[in-house]
Structure 1
Amino acid sequence: MIYVVAAIAGIAGLLFGFDEGVIAGALGLLRAQFGITPLDEGLITSAVPFGALFGAILAGWLAKPAGRRSLLLFAAVLFVAGALFAALAHAAWVLGIARLVLGFAIGIAAMIAPLYISESVPAARRGMLVSIYQLAITLGILGAYLVGYAFSESWRTMFAVGMIPGLALFVGMMFMSDTPRWLAMRGRRDEALATLAKVRGVPKTDPAASAELAEIVRTAATDSRDDKGKLAELFGPVARPALIVGMGLFLLQQLSGINAVIYYAPTVFQLAGFDSAEIQILATAGIGVVNVLMTLVGMALIDRIGRRRLLYIGFAGAAFSLGVIAIAAASGSPDLGILALIGLVLYIASFAASIGPLPWVMMSEIFPLNVRGPGMSFASLANWGFNFVVVFSFPVLVADIGLAGVFGIYAVVCVAGLVFTRLYVPETNGVPLEDIERHLQSGRPFRDLAPAAGR
């Protein structure tokens, strides 16, 4: 049952990836039909992360009163509506608004879906199961590239296809309950026990399920009694270390340049010397395949070698590969195209196995229950804010400082990620959410958190 929970919530990630990636295949057709300017192109493209900013804010403040399931159902409705309006758009500004709606839905789902999975599944498999969300994102991106190739003459069909997973998310969530932790927080203990037992695949009378629920209820009762679910508490001494890690990882993830590659992959290959549009599309699809395959590798490793070690590997690999691209571009090497392709493959591999999934996983783990919604909202704001900055700035930076300068900046960010991981990131692998919260309350450095011996 835990895989069903993760798979249904993961459809939100599929929609995230699809609605991000589909614009890459549609831009050429949109330029021809609407005669859009470079500014229009930037606005239409960056409307998704801009809308997601506001979706994340709403999700953060409604996660506690409205519940995780209700928000995912609402996001599903927005996904369907946004895809429909995009497919029917008669002008560039209408398409921009439709993309804004899709971004709003992504902002909600990108915060709530990992939270839904994290609060539902056992600690021992939490990392791998939350990573299903990131896997779904990569599948959505690849799917968008393939849809763009299959319907290369119809941008309306490309956008319309996005309604299908939106409907699937709505139908799937209709058959799901909310998370045991949210139900316990709302005082619905019997429902929480029934849901916990169902997800674990055990009867309601199982002693382990009862003991787990008792710990959840104890934590929820303490949080409610202390009334600490205020914004000020998120910046207080208990939750602040988690906020630094959550926002910091997303800042580093985005400034590593991933969405410059996702949104502008054909442009990057063109700048690297691949003049054929067909080769650009095939190379872009190849990047999508690598993204999916290496996300599977990351899922296999995340609960085996731990979060910190995987972050070290990811940031080191990304820094090296981005550096290769930057040096090749700066030197004017005649082999720039081949080196850029190799560098991008290594970069995507490093990102997909580590830097991509881990911020989503850790965001869903590290915040105390009472400020989990607002905390994840702020982490999501860092994600979408810097996503917008990277996507909007990439064409401008390339024009000003060239491909070498842009990828050089991204490489330096990845080096900073190694330092950040060493100084601030804890090891949450296999640690129950309630134990993470107790460590934060102890006042010890957050980075000193580690799984108990023998866990």
Structure 2
Amino acid sequence: MPSKKQTDVSGGDRQPDETPTFCSLENLKVAQVQVVGGTLNGFSIGFVAVYAYFYLMSTDCSMYKKEVACNRVLNAECSWNGTRGECGWNGFTCFWGHGKDKTPCLDDSRCKWVYSDEECKNPTGYSSSYNGIFAGAMIVGAMIGSIYAGQFAARFGHKVSFLIVGIVGVVSSVMYHVSSATNEFWVLCVGRLLIGVVLGLVNVACPMYVDQNAHPKFLHVDGVLFQVFTTFGIMFAAAMGLAIGQSVNFDKDTKMDARMQGYCAFSTLLSVLMVALGIFLGESKTKFTSGKHEDDGTALDPNEYSYLQMLGPLAMGLVTSGTLQLTGINAVMNYAPKIMGNLGMVPLVGNFVVMAWNFVTTLVSIPLARVLTMRQLFLGASLVASVSCLLLCGVPVYPGVADKNVKNGVAITGIAIFIAAFEIGLGPCFFVLAQELFPRSFRPRGSSFVLLTNFIFNVIINVCYPIATEGISGGPSGNQDKGQAVAFIFFGCIGLVCFVLQVFSCTRGRRALLRTTETPTKSPRFQNSSRRLRLPPLATVKPRECVVWHRVRRETNISYGKIKRKTRVQDCVAADDTAKTALSIAGVVRWGWRAAPDRAKRHPAFFWLRATLLLSDSN
């Protein structure tokens, strides 16, 4: 029989009335992981657009307005033309040679035709292939890092994991600095690949640490903080880019080398904070037998379930990743600055406006996480995001459907709604669901799989989206609105399909629960409901087995018959902390049950509450 002593999920002694506050030191110690890890993740994501624009500024001679500035352009050979009073390239300035004459410009390999401005210009910044490599290097690295991220954290612990993240992050940042000083593109790409590998670990380890150590009251609120601070990191990257970039005076020496070095320094600072986190953070209170706690009787066995046994939850993880990425968030974030540019905003300002809206909408997820389940929030947001993609960003943008002013207005509204839906529900809930889809012992491997599929979809969208939109539009000279519209219609349809699959999964799980025909023989308070929920007989089930049964049933969404064949006494010992959690909250749950109306008691969501009360009564 379990001890009468009440213990929480973290393993410490706590009475029901000793619940900590959100701003308590106990909770902040857990939340700091999300703050530092999420900010580093977000800044690394937002780094690409700003750094690429800084590099463009360091190669575009035409931007410099005075001779002193023209002669000190960082990454291009420029010369001042006294007759024209303009800055040009040493070899050949395309605009001076071809102007707005398209045919000779296209025939000249030194030049490129800019369709938006309808004039001939010298190539500046990174080429399209280099931009793709620069943007994709981190994602490929994250995909590699996420494969064994969960197993690594379970084996070596979170302290070692965060310490490795910080050290590799510092090395990566040093490579940024070297690339900026020497104009070595491939050094920059290797640095991005390295930071991607450890960010794959961050995306798994940070939510896992919170899942294992947060107080049950703040589990979901602390869980959504990873996405909140990821968007904060993206906005911070845009804000620093705006502050550094908008202060450039093209009439004087712009000192672009110092500006680019200063921007890279923020990545170094965040990596150092990760090192400090790894040094001073307390170890997770959940232990795994694959690590240094192999002889600990309370440690969880990460090999308890095979991938075949977890096929259902893994499939739902795949659908969840598809909902997150295949609804086109990366395409929207790429399309939004372009629309802002069409409204007359300079690139850095438009980028900051979009990222600020991205961050502000994420804050709404914090109070919603207190009143809604993660699945409810995720499903509602996926429906709104899919509909906005289809009906606002897709159909009205197709050529001939609406005039230009209506098209831009509707598209901007659609993008704003899509970003809000994504950051309120899809993004924050994803990292929590990546843990909760699986039993506790399988979460290191399960969450790694979900994050791996997420990054695979991310790569697919980043690579295929620009190619597909250009091809559908009829090439670079075609109407790009056609490709954009078809892409967003596709994103909306994919989102709706994923929404239906997830709703069907929830409905099937609920029906499986209602098909159990036996009723409990204990706790007469359950006999008051005329349409009571039928449960399996618990008189013959040991108390801890009861907890294991309802916990595994809730987390795997499979029928009681399958669980009954798998439940063993060893499962109860391995899930000792789960049993203690049920006992510790029994007093609070009992009060909530008495206060709840009969209609609420009949809802399947109250099953875990009934099982908890029966467990406490059996003691």
Amino acid of the structure 2 residue aligned with 1:21: G
What secondary structure does 2:287 align onto?
A: helix
Is structure 2 residue 205 aligned with structure 1 residue 112? yes
**1:343-382 equivalences in 2 (<5 Å):** 343-382=414-453
Q: TM-score by structure 1 length?
A: 0.82
- Percent identity over the alignment is 22
RMSD: 2.9
Asked whether the equivalents of residues 9 and 169 of structure 1 are also in contact (C-alpha less than 8 Å), the reply is no
1:389 corresponds to which of 460, 465, 486: 460
1:97 aligns with 2:190: yes
Determine the C-alpha separation between the residues in 1 that align with 2:221 and 2:437: 16
One-letter amino acid matched to 1:160: A
The corresponding residue for 1:146 is 239
- Structure 1: gaps of 5 or more residues: 193-216
Aligned-pair distance for 1:367? 1.9
Q: Which amino acid aligns with 2:333?
A: I
Which residues of 2 match residues 41-440 of structure 1 at below 5 A? Answer: 41-89=131-179, 90-152=183-245, 153=256, 154-182=259-287, 220=299, 223=301, 228=304, 233-236=306-309, 239-262=310-333, 265-267=336-338, 269-270=340-341, 273-274=342-343, 276-278=344-346, 280-323=347-390, 324-330=392-398, 331-335=401-405, 336-401=407-472, 402-425=483-506, 436-437=551-552, 439=554
Structure 2 letter corresponding to 1:82: S
Residue type matched to 2:487 in 1?
A: V
Whether contact under 8 Å (1:83, 1:98) holds in the other structure is yes
Distance 1:349 1:442, change over 3 A: closer
The whole-number CA distance in structure 2 between the counterparts of 1:83 and 1:187 is 32
Counterpart among 6, 28, 40 of residue 15 in structure 1 = 40
Specify the code of the residue in structure 2 equivalent to 1:106.
Answer: L
Contact preservation (8 Å) 1:80, 1:163 = yes
1:39 aligns with 2:123: no
SS of the aligned residue for 1:119 comes to helix
8 Å CA contact 1:246–1:359 kept in 2: the answer is no
Which structure: larger Rg?
Answer: 2
Give, in whole Å, the separation in 2 of the partners of 1:265 and 1:86.
Answer: 27
CA distance in 1, matches of 2:155, 2:266: 33
Matched residues, number: 412
Counterpart of 1:49 in structure 2: which amino acid? I
C-alpha separation between the residues in 2 aligned to 1:349 and 1:442?
30
* Aligned amino acid, residue 181 of structure 1: T
> What does residue 200 of structure 1 align with?
none
Q: 2: CA distance between counterparts of 1:172 and 1:75?
A: 10
> Residues 21 and 263 of structure 1 are in contact (CA less than 8 Å); yes or no, is this contact kept in structure 2?
no
Q: What do the CA deviations read for 1:283-327 (whole angstroms, capped 9, x no partner)?
A: 332222222222221121123121232123201221222220212
Question: How far apart, CA to CA, are the structure 2 residues paired with 1:284 and 1:435?
Answer: 47
Distance 2:548 2:376 in 1: 20
Task: Please tell me the residue identity of whatever aligns with 1:95.
Answer: L
Cα pair 2:38 2:229 within 8 Å, conserved: yes
Going from structure 1 to structure 2, the CA distance change for 1:433 and 1:15 (only over 3 Å counts) comes to farther
Alpha carbons of structure 1 residues 67 and 100: separation in structure 2 relative to 1, 3 Å? same
CA distance 1:75–1:263, shift in 2 (3 Å): farther
Residues 325, 404 of structure 1: 8 Å contact kept: yes
Q: Hey, what's the Cα distance between the residues in 2 that align with 1:370 and 1:247? A: 19
Any idea what SS the aligned residue of 1:178 has?
coil
Partner of 1:205: none
Q: Is the 8 A contact 1:247 1:380 kept in 2?
A: no
Taking the aligned partners of 1:16 and 1:291, their CA distance within structure 2 comes to 15
- Structure 2 unmatched runs, 5+: 1-25, 60-74, 76-123, 246-255, 473-482, 511-546, 563-602, 613-619
CA distance in 2, matches of 1:14, 1:166: 10
Q: Is the 1:365–1:433 Cα contact (8 Å) retained in structure 2? A: no
Contact residue 323 and residue 499 of structure 2 kept, 8 A: no
Amino acid at match of 2:383: A
2:52, 2:126 within 8 Å by CA — same for their partners in 1?
A: no
**After the TM superposition, which of the residue ranges 407-416 and 135-144 deviates more from structure 2?**
407-416
